[in-house]
Structure 1
Amino acid sequence: MSTPAEEYDKLTPEERETKDKEDRAREAAEQAALPYTWKQELHEVDIRVPVPKGTRARDLQVVIAKTKLSVSLKGKEPIMAGELCKEIKLDDSTWTLEDQEFVDIHLEKVNKQQWWENVLKHHPKIDTTKINPENSKLSDLDGETRGMVEKMMFDNQQRQMGKPTSDELKKQEALKKFQAAHPELDFSNAKIS
């Protein structure tokens, strides 16, 4: 029996486009039926839950736990409640009441390298392979990651121009220093690998 991915690969480009449109429409309808809206970045999820206009914070019961979330008006059935699809960082997750008509919930993901398929496990899933993230700017990255990305970009440019990478340049520099410190040695057959 073939998997959905194998079936998809067998489709013509036109059939894929039609299937993608149908899937997006189905997903949009399923998401629109939820009692909240949500969006995500790789490191966070933001949820907006509409509540009756004039709602005050004291009227709400919002529970945010490592793997659970619920929002309800005191004494009423929960607007949303269940197990989160992935674990969150509790200390960095918050909720606020906006304009007395929306509960805005900010969840920090534990795994910042993974897209969520849904917020609550029992709710409809989205196809995370179709997510097109916004391009990040180098300035958004932390120092270590930024340095790594800049090195990779430099090395890639050097390779495209047929020039040595940063590691190869370091080795050449080390060999030059060693040659200068030991002029009595013959380096005519030296190879840098």
Structure 2
Amino acid sequence: MSAKDYDSLTEEERNVQDAKDRERERQEQAALPYSWSQDLQTVTVNVPLPKGIKSKDLIVVMDRRKLKVGGVQVKGAPEPIMEGELFEDIAKDDSSWTIDSGVLTFELEKFSAHINSHRWWPHVLTKDPKIDTTKIQPENTKLSDLDGETRAMVEKMMHDNKQKQLGEPTSDELKKLEMIEKFKRQHPEMDFSNAKIE
């Protein structure tokens, strides 16, 4: 269904369509040989391994844009358990894989050339079915989880929103007013009575 068709639906029809889409996505994802989850920085991929497989039996390739899990001695499995091109580049040196209780887990760090420009992945491998990333509801992040610069920016935005709701000046507006007052004190000879402050 196109975005235009979706927009023309009533709220009730949208809810029905959303439920159908979620169920279709759930079935498509359940059919994959792995499960996965993500946040804005990391994609976690869990690959259940055939019984009795040890790390020495596996061929694991984790490259900038490729993942492969195959077995050297996996009986009856000539094809890789998982193989393909990743949706986007990963930061290979910051990514890792481990095996625990018969599950191979990849922690893939999303690569970003620009700070805070990570985005949601619609799928792990480009050949696999996509999820609708517009419907992702991220978990609430605690301010304490953020780095100093991001936290300061978020706190400023929260403060400014609160000030706007109260009809009070925001931090930037306060800075402007302070600069004007300072300028007035430095230049008492000037008449500011008709000055417009925006």
Cα deviation, residue 125, structure 1: 0.9
Q: Pairwise CA RMSD of aligned residues?
A: 1.7
Q: Secondary structure at the match of 1:192?
A: coil
Question: Which residue is equivalent to 2:20?
Answer: 22
TM-score (norm 2): 0.88
Displacement of 1:184: 4.2
Offset at residue 58 of structure 1 (A): 1.1
More displaced stretch, 64-73 vs 150-159: 150-159
Q: How does 1:35-46 map to 2 (within 5 A)?
A: 35-46=33-44
Q: In structure 1, list runs of 5 or more residues that go unmatched.
A: none
Q: In structure 2, how many angstroms separate the alpha carbons of the residues matched to 1:59 and 1:179?
A: 78
1:135 Cα deviation from its structure 2 partner = 1.4
Runs of 4+ with deviation above 4 angstroms: none
Report the AA paired with residue 108 of structure 1: E
Q: Equivalences for 1:53-68 in 2 at 5 Å?
A: 53-68=51-66
2:184 and 2:192 mapped to 1: Cα distance? 7
Q: Is structure 2 residue 146 aligned with structure 1 residue 145?
A: no
Which stretch has the larger CA shift, 168-177 or 76-85? 168-177
Distance across 1 between alignment mates of 2:31 and 2:164:
51
Alignment match, 2:93: 91
Q: Which of 99, 122, 129 lines up with 2:127 in the alignment?
A: 122
Q: TM-score, normalised by structure 1?
A: 0.90
SS at match of 1:91: helix
CA–CA separation in structure 1 for the residues paired with 2:148 and 2:164: 24
Q: Distance in 1 between matches of 2:66 and 2:100?
A: 22
Deviation at 1:189, TM superposition (A): 3.5
Unaligned runs of at least 5 residues, structure 2: none
2:11 corresponds to 1:13? yes
Deviation of residue 174 (structure 1)? 1.9
Name the CA distance, whole Å, in 2 between partners of 1:9 and 1:179: 54
Q: Which residue number corresponds to residue 160 of structure 1? A: 165
Q: State the distance in 2 between where 1:6 and 1:67 align.
A: 33
How far residue 39 of structure 1 moved from its aligned partner, in angstroms, is 0.5
Q: CA deviation at 1:130?
A: 1.1
- Quote the residue 2:105 is aligned against: 104
Counterparts of 1:191 and 1:19, CA distance in 2: 52
Deviation at 1:26, TM superposition (A): 0.9
How far is the alpha carbon of 1:17 from its aligned partner?
1.4
Aligned-residue offset at 1:168? 1.5
**Count, aligned residues:** 190
The SS at the match of 1:179 is helix
Question: If each structure's strand is expressed as a fraction of its own residues, which one has the higher value?
Answer: 1
> Percentage identity across aligned positions?
57
